Amino acid sequence: MSRKFIRIALMLIILGVFALTGCDADEGFEPNLDMEEILANAGPGPTETPAAPELPGSSAIPEYPIEIPPPPCSGGPPPEPEPIPEPTPEPTPTPEFRHVNIPILMYHTSSEYNPGALPELYVRPSEFERQMVWLIENGFTFVTFEDWDYLYRIKRPIMITFDDGYIENYTEIFPILQEHNVTIVLFLTWMAIAGHGFTEDMILAMHDSGLVVFEAHTMTHVDLRTVGTQRLRHEMAETNRLIEELTGRMPIALAYPGGRFNDAVLAMTAEYYRFGLRHDLGMHNTAFDNFQIRRIRINRSTGLDTFIRLVTQ
Ligand SMILES: [Zn+2]
């Protein structure tokens, strides 16, 4: 029993040394190793004289707490390191929303020497290219309806639209778009695939280029004011279905054939689209009606000076 007293007293002394030398593991102290060395030097080890098991409550010696509380470290527990605050990225300043002018140019088709029966519809490819180059050199950004909600953040936005779906959109215009990285919106009348020689392969090639976004221009180019509700719905819903089936993208804008509409047409358009486009009235502003979006017509006879005046008015 007295040996056990000595061992407990030794442990208390050792623990006291811990307290004096510090208890921070960061200072390189290894208590288990030192404890074994000291006990080995102090006398027979525990393996030579194993203590007899004691029955609970039978011991006559004063009870010491079995679990000795850790010696107090001077200054208390080591202070928690100050959490390093995560650097918060500077928020990108968002310009305040404002309405903007957006010139939306309306073309139909293009031919250098063979203007067809409606010559004003056939802008010369060379003239179209001059116009696009002028826009690029003067800092305009080509946009589509996907960009509409952010137009106020875009430098000099402009939208180039083509109506109907003439084959020259592919043979004459598409190479110019690729050459100068110009994006356009093409309002497709579905019957143009049969009537004007446009093919599904051409549409897919243009769509896949990312330079042509296809929107709707009805199935048959009928004057929408003259048809009943059922036909009106068919002209919109079926065009959407076929364009989505072909390109994988549902149209969100409708160009009224001939620019003609009435209240019934406007109401039905709002069911299927976010935007409806007229043919006329010049410069559009985003504060105006989204279902009477104005356009600037560009004809074969439109010279570059007139073109510049129209897009900068
Ligand atoms: Zn048209």
Domain membership of residue 95 (yes or no) is no
CATH code of 207's domain: 3.20.20.370
* Whether the Cβ atoms of residue 297 and residue 106 lie closer than 8 Å to each other: yes
Domain membership of residue 251 (yes or no) is yes
User: Domain range for residue 11?
Assistant: 1-49+60-72
| pLDDT, tens digit, 9 for 90 and up, residues 274-305 | 999 999 999 999 999 999 999 999 999 999 99
Sign of CA dihedral 265, 266, 272, 278: positive
The average pLDDT across 212-226 equals 98
Dist. CA 253 → ligand 1 center (Å): 14
Domain membership of residue 81 (yes or no) is no
Sign of CA dihedral 9, 10, 11, 17: positive
Dist. CA 187 → ligand 1 center (Å): 8
The average pLDDT across 207-211 equals 98
Cα separation, 235 vs 251, in Å, equals: 13
Q: What is the mean pLDDT of the chain?
A: 82
Q: Name the more confident of 86 and 213.
A: 213
Q: What is the pLDDT of residue 34?
A: 42
Same domain as 65, residue 115 = no
The average pLDDT across 84-105 equals 82
Confidence band, pLDDT 50/70/90 cuts, at residue 41: very low
The average pLDDT across 140-157 equals 97
Same domain as 153, residue 15 = no
Dist. CA 223 → ligand 1 center (Å): 10
| pLDDT, tens digit, 9 for 90 and up, residues 6-18 | 565 555 555 444 4
Cα separation, 125 vs 195, in Å, equals: 22
Same domain as 65, residue 117 = no
Q: What is the pLDDT of residue 24?
A: 40
Same domain as 144, residue 264 = yes
Number of domains in the chain: 2
Dist. CA 220 → ligand 1 center (Å): 10
Q: What is the pLDDT of residue 6?
A: 53
Same domain as 130, residue 36 = no
* Whether the Cβ atoms of residue 251 and residue 214 lie closer than 8 Å to each other: yes
Domain membership of residue 111 (yes or no) is yes
Q: What is the pLDDT of residue 4?
A: 58
In percent, the amount of the chain with pLDDT more than 90 equals 65
Same domain as 197, residue 108 = yes
| pLDDT, tens digit, 9 for 90 and up, residues 53-76 | 444 444 444 444 445 445 444 555
For the residues of 1-53, what is the DSSP string, one character each? -HHHHHHHHHHHHHHHHHHHH---GGGT--HHHHHHHHHHHHSS-TTTSPPPP
Q: What is the pLDDT of residue 10?
A: 54
Same domain as 112, residue 66 = no
